[in-house]
Amino acid sequence: MKRHWFKRNLLFIPLSFAVFIIGIALLHSRAAPAGIGTVPQIVSFTALPAVAEPGQAVTLAWNARGTDSVELNWAAGGQSDAAEPERANLPAIGRITVHPNQDTVYKLTCETADGPMCSTSVTVRTALR
């Protein structure tokens, strides 16, 4: 009698295992895509040189992760931040050249579509002539 049960269920065992594996694969494929539900991170944001002559070229470079939007604002001579970004829709990894005439604070802001954001700033000092 046991031999008959085994022959009848021989196909059932591998088929059950296959359904189990397919179910696991489907659950894994429904995981949130990268970037969703994560907080963006600014890995680095630098200004070179950090002290420059007025009007001298300064390179701002950044590296951000997990972000959908990168914006750059600046305020010269102690003014408050601008309401609108000076540069918007920047890449997550990039650089830009600026020519400050006075001490200037540059603020990099990263944001995701879900809302989490982060920001950091660098200050470029101008040397007296």
40 cis-preceded (ω within 30 degrees of 0): no
- CB environment 35-48: b (16+ within 10 A), e (fewer): eeeeebebeebebe
**Bridge partners of residue 123, in order along the sequence:** 105
Q: Coil, strand or helix: which one is 83?
A: coil
pTM listed for this prediction: 0.67
- In tens, the pLDDT along 69-81 reads 999 999 987 665 5
Token digits of residue 123? 């200050």
The contacts of residue 3 (CB under 8 Å, 6+ apart) are: none
Instruction: Kindly indicate the confidence band of residue 31, based on its pLDDT and cuts at 50, 70 and 90.
Output: very low
The arithmetic mean of pLDDT across residues 5-9, rounded, is 57
